[in-house]
Structure 1
Amino acid sequence: MLNGARILACGSRSAVRMSARLLESAGASVDVIDPECVAEEQGLQQFQAYDAVIVSTDTCAATLKRAIGELLASGSIIVCNITATGPQSARQGMRWSDGQIQAITGLMDTTGFADGEPVRIGIPLTEVSAAMYAASSISAALRVRQLRGFAQNVDVTLFGCAVSALTTFLPNAFVGRMAGRVGNRHPSCAPWNAYRTRDGWVLICTSSEDQWHKLKHAARIDGCDDERCSSLAARVKNADYLDRIIEAWTTTLTTDECSTLCEQAGIAAGPIVSIDELAHEANFGLRHPVASQRMQSAGIDSETYRDVSAFRATSLVSSRHPVQTVCRTEERTSATPRERDADHPAPESTGPLAGIKVIEIGQYTTAPLVGKHLAAMGAQVTKVEPPNGETAREWAPGQGGTSYFFALNNTDKHTISADLKQAAGRDYLERLLATADVLVENLRPGALAKLGFDRDALARINPRLIYCSISGFGIESAYPSRPAFDTVIQATGGLMDLNRTGGAPVKMGVSGADILGGQVALFAVVSALADENRKEGVFLEIAMQDVAAWCSLFSAGNPVPDGMAIRCADGYVWLESSGRHDLESLEIFTRRLQWSKATRKRAVSEIEALGIHAVFVTRVDELIDDSDFLSDMLTVGRDPDGAFWPILKVPYRFSRTPAKVRTVPGPPESVAVDDASGMKSIAGLPVSTDGPSS
């Protein structure tokens, strides 16, 4: 997809190296060099062989910083600068680590058990996210240079990446509520937790009454007919009781026995797989046999993650038989963009993806994240929702019947509702696809094919379509019927094993597996769009477990400094080990001093005076008052009725083709019936149908 692109990675941040490896996986030619090897006296000449250079100016030496400054000013090469807080931040100038960024953004305070301390997420989440957004931004900038003939600079910040991950927590902060840590539980669903088994741990997640009754029937748990389990609200309220009776059952079974029973019942469940066990995990071994074998024979080192494919790209046509494009599709695709979009013209855009048309069929986080960023980069995104709209629209809190969560994840999209089980909905979707550049969805594997839109059908409708499918365990899977929530993927991909407190595995507070899966999908789509020589359609497959394993293996092979959270009277502060202070000496040091009755401000001041860097562990509700958050990430959008909404900017900046976040969609436009003509129309476009109205 990026064949021919030449990339130089020259920075000490992990994000620099990871972004280069992602670009390499998409076909780019990559050189990774030690920043100390850059010679100031050679000037710009040492960069001229490359199309893009990835750097991190907040961690480099002064000589390299001067060379990068000249390169940024030249405008001759794409330069992507990954820093902790950005050039305009009040915090610029310090070498902020991933752990410190997790602390000051509220990300750390979302992770851990309700009665315990905040936990640093076990993978360097802000570095990983920055790598993924940087790779997407560079791909978009390469496309711009091919089409418009100029290079530009890109800035990506760890601070922005951390804030962007908080979409499940910021809605409560917007209305002045505190969101506490919930460990492995879900604030609105039960049972949902990690439970001990005879030989380990199993994660079990239910989200509806139907799933609860399936679990009751399959497991025959003693005590589940108690009134404390009689409704979802009752189960959430009595989660302690519920967890006790479920764990009394799970401890009688092995992890495999419990996972199999839940899978057969249609319940999302799975083992909490350790990093050492990942090589033997059935789906990982099926999808990554080379990596599995090498891990079993040689263990895990700093480069093991490169043996895992974070995404797969193949021809859209799945069979060996040539696909004949139907005549009516040829007629549709021959229409000019102005003719195609007459009913719903896209807003004028100078973004890097201006002119691209995207169809999104997704809900909650993964596919919506892809659509949100494609729209921010200038693409025209049409989101297809169920007849009654996406369920997440109704989540509290919100305004005007729409949740803040939905608004944060679906900015700048045109939304329609269509019943794809009806002929009218399918016919309209086909019309959309015939003129689209991209289709992205996160339905269950095979769901779209059952509606008549398998890969070969999509190739007949639109031979050059980029089709991106996101699922938990992939199309080729050892678990073809296992549901996959974010928490289950965190468990089976090794993320929870790296995320422990008091010896117990704990999930990320944010929907980490969903977010990371969406970020890799975004990169894969933009990379495919950057290939202007592409002659055929592309099928992009993203399995969230693959992405989780890629991140887990990188973290296991490239450990970050240890640290600890210290309780104060008004919250916590975060200390990190360094060359002068290891974790053991920090623990001894903190035991001598009494900070439990001191404020965070006083504690940080006294710790800094002793030569140890400490930062506040910010709560998400406190982030609303943070100057960098207010100036660099928070903005205001408007919906079709003119109402104002708090929304987030993107964590990357293009110097010449800015990404913009401006609007919040109103209610989806739905199917309408024209009684006079007997025709149906969806979002203003007429379609014929022989099915009943929806």
Structure 2
Amino acid sequence: MKPLQGVRVLDMTTNISGPTLTMILADLGAEVIKVEKLSGDEARKMEPKYQEDGVYFLNINRQKKSVTLNMKEDSDRGNLMGLIKTADVFVENYRLGVAQKLGIDYEAVKKINPKLIYCSLSAYGQNGPKKKYPGYDAIMQAETGIMSITGSTDLARVPVSLIDQGSAMWGALGIVSAILQRHKTDEGSLVSTSLYETGVFWANYHLLSTKLTGENPEKLGSNHGAFAPYGAFQTADGAIMIGISNNKLFEKLCEVLQKHEWIEDGLYHTNEERVKNRLLLSKEIEQITMTEKSEALIQALEAGGVPVAQVKTMKDVLVDPQQIENKLIVRLPHIRDKEMYATRIPLTFSNCDITPTAPAPLLGEHNEELLGRDYVHDIK
């Protein structure tokens, strides 16, 4: 039995953060009912597409059921209230105030289902001057300082949805915690998180450093402000990442590179000195790495106990034995008779298998099952 088997989740979310949250719950065994407008979640239209739907949508909406509702119709509002009565969890990611206008804010729905766990995943949180503003991952990278420390020179965003998906993780953790709390109190609760709060939390080390020193962190590319050498180095056929966080590891690096003199060199003798002289040290290391192929360097450094990795492309990761043997990318059936793939959540349990097995639903695919009507008519 999966951890959340028997839990029914009503998913009112769209785009990335909310659907990722409910994807986690679905993978953990919950029955997730995705409520979509008649034209569908906007993520269905995101590029690149596969078999008519966006790849992002197909990944983060796997194992869910889809129903279509028109919230302007009394009959559909009645259908939604019926679903709320049967749900254990309700998740929405509307702009603050929208759920209240629709009559499905926490205060309204708990009158229908007092034991309901209600999760609100907003952009900026429940308080503050921007609490009603919309938000997106890149906007929050800018708002929370992450963009100011990303890259080397020009402003850059982290090109994965770390804030959207991070918020999803916090929301899922909050919901699971609320379920455990409900077992003790027999009461529902409101759980809230936001993109902004997640971004501030991810930036915690840098924010606290700035608060204590009064200095903004510099942009270091692949390097680290606290350690050196710690960064990516070009090789004869690519690049490798080396991470040296203490003197012992630096000594091992010097042994492998046959630069024993660096160990006693006043410029590099301590981590503090190495950080001060990072650029010079990195240049000297790269003069060596540029003459060797990545594979040979990695073998030598690993044998010497130095933390190292190839800077891999997405194509590299797809064929990496480490990824394959951990079964991180799994094949799913597709409703249109085409194969589909998904990245599983990074959790395993000794007593159950939570590998996803069902694809994302077609728009309104489960209307007949859950609402007693044919989904085809709803999407004409």
TM bucket (normalised to shorter chain) is: 0.7 to 0.9
* Alignment match, 2:110: 459
How far is 1:422 from its partner? 2.6
Match of 1:443 in 2: 94
Select between 554-563 and 426-435 the one with higher mean Cα deviation. Answer: 554-563
1:521 aligns with one of 159, 171, 185:
171
Could you say if the C-alpha distance between residues 668 and 683 of structure 1 is closer, same or farther in structure 2, counting changes exceeding 3 Å?
farther
State whether structure 2 residue 308 is matched by structure 1 residue 614. yes
Contact residue 36 and residue 364 of structure 2 kept, 8 A = no
Q: Would you say the 8 A contact 1:378–1:660 is kept in 2? A: no
CA contact (8 A) 1:577 1:586 kept: no
Question: How far apart are the structure 2 equivalents of 1:561 and 1:385?
Answer: 48
Cα-to-partner distance string for 1:382-401 (whole Å, 9 max, x where unaligned): 01122111222233334321
Q: Are 2:350 and 1:655 equivalent residues in the alignment?
A: yes
Give 3-state SS (helix, strand or coil) of 1:359's partner.
Answer: strand
Alignment of 1:456-495 (within 5 A): 456-495=107-146
Indicate the residue corresponding to 1:509 in structure 2. Answer: 159
CA distance, structure 1, for counterparts of residue 303 and residue 177 of structure 2 = 48
Displacement of 1:435 in angstroms is 0.6
Change (3 A) 1:597 1:352: same
After superposition, give the CA deviation of every residue in 1:626-664 in whole Å (9 maximum; x if it has no partner): 012122111111133443211122211111243231111
Equivalent position SS for 1:440: strand
Report if the CA contact (8 A) 1:669-1:683 is conserved.
Answer: no
| 1:671-682 matches, cutoff 5 A | none
The structural deviation recorded for 1:415 is 1.3
| 2:38 corresponding residue in structure 1 | 387
1:591: which partner in 2? 283
Counterpart residue number, 1:496: 147
Q: Deviations over 1:254-284 (max 9, x none)?
A: xxxxxxxxxxxxxxxxxxxxxxxxxxxxxxx
- Aligned to 2:193, the other structure's residue is in SS state strand
Aligned to 2:338: 643
Partner in structure 1 of residue 239 of structure 2: 572
Q: Distance in 1 between matches of 2:208 and 2:78?
A: 49
CA–CA separation in structure 2 for the residues paired with 1:419 and 1:589: 63
* Structure 2 residue corresponding to 1:365, chosen from 8, 13, 16: 16
Aligned residue type for 1:521: G
In structure 1, the residue corresponding to 2:87 is in which secondary structure? coil
Give TM-score, length-normalised by structure 1. Answer: 0.44
CA contact 1:357–1:437 (8 Å) conserved in 2: yes
Structure 1 CA distance, aligned partners of 2:173 and 2:352? 18
Taking a change above 3 Å as real, the CA distance of residues 446 and 598 of structure 1, as seen in their structure-2 partners, is same
Give yes or no for contact 2:62–2:361 (8 Å, CA) kept in 1.
Answer: no
* Cα separation, 1, equivalents of 2:132 and 2:329: 40
Give the residue type in structure 2 aligned to 1:685: L
Cα distance in 2 for partners of 1:596, 1:693 equals 58
Counterpart mapping for 1:520-539 below 5 A: 520-531=170-181, 532-539=183-190
Partners of 2:310 and 2:347 lie apart in 1 by 25
Distance 1:366 1:433 in 2: 21
Quote the offset at 1:434 in angstroms: 0.8
Distance 1:424 1:526 in 2: 32
TM norm structure 2: 0.78
- Native 8 Å contact 1:369 1:410 kept in 2: yes
Amino acid in structure 1 at the alignment position of 2:156: V
* Structure-2 separation of matches of 1:537 and 1:554: 34
Distance of aligned partners of 1:450 and 1:594 in 2 relative to their CA distance in 1, 3 Å threshold: same
Provide the rounded CA distance (Å) in 2 between the counterparts of 1:479 and 1:579: 42
Indicate yes or no: 2:350 matched with 1:667.
no
Q: CA deviation at 1:611?
A: 6.8
Deviates more, 1:556-565 or 1:472-481: 556-565
2: CA distance, partners of 1:561 / 1:360 = 44
Cα displacement string for residues 38-90 of structure 1 (whole angstroms, at most 9, x for unaligned residues): xxxxxxxxxxxxxxxxxxxxxxxxxxxxxxxxxxxxxxxxxxxxxxxxxxxxx
Q: Are the structure 2 counterparts of residues 655 and 476 from structure 1 closer, same or farther at C-alpha, using a change threshold of 3 Å?
A: same
Residue 480 to residue 648, structure 1, CA distance change in 2 (3 Å)? closer
Q: Which amino acid aligns with 1:544?
A: L
Which residue number in structure 1 is paired with residue 212 of structure 2? none
1:389-404 matches, within 5 Å, as 389-404=40-55
Spell out, residue by residue over 1:217-254, the C-alpha distance to the aligned partner (whole angstroms, 9 max, x if none).
Answer: xxxxxxxxxxxxxxxxxxxxxxxxxxxxxxxxxxxxxx
Q: 1:370, CA displacement in angstroms?
A: 1.4
1:363 and 1:684 map into 2 onto residues whose CA distance is 20
Residues 157-196 of structure 1 mapped to structure 2, 5 A cutoff: none
**Which whole-Å CA distance do the structure 2 matches of 1:682 and 1:452 have between them?**
25
Uncovered stretches (5+) of structure 2, i.e. residues with no partner: 210-224, 251-270
Aligned position for 2:267? none
Deviation of the 1:610 alpha carbon: 7.5
Tell me if structure 2 keeps the 8 A contact 1:604–1:616.
Answer: yes
Give the ranges of 4+ consecutive aligned residues of structure 1 lying more than 6 Å apart after TM superposition: none
1:639 is paired with a residue whose SS is coil
**One-letter amino acid of the counterpart of residue 234, structure 2:** R
Paired residue total:
331
Q: Which residue of structure 2 lines up, in the alignment, with residue 414 of structure 1? A: 65
- The 1:682/1:479 distance shift into structure 2, 3 A limit, reads farther
Q: Which amino acid aligns with 2:232?
A: A
1:469 positional shift: 0.5
* SS at structure 2 position matched to 1:530: helix
Instruction: Name the counterpart of 2:216.
Output: none
Residue identity matched to 2:316: E
Q: Secondary structure at 2:309's aligned position in 1? A: strand
In structure 1, the gaps of 5 or more residues are 1-349, 672-680
